[in-house]
Amino acid sequence: VNTSFSHNEAVTVSIMNVLGQEASPPAHLHMERGDATIYIGNLPAGMYFLQMKTASSNVVKKFVKE
Strand partners, 29: 11
Q: Are 47 and 58 in contact (CB under 8 A)?
A: no
Per-residue pLDDT of the chain (66 residues; tens, 9 = 90+): 888 878 889 999 999 999 999 999 999 998 888 888 888 999 999 999 999 998 888 999 999 999
CA angle (33 as vertex; 1, 66 as ends), nearest 5: 5
Supply the pTM of this predicted model: 0.84
C-alpha distances out from residue 33 to 11, 17, 25, Å: 12, 28, 24
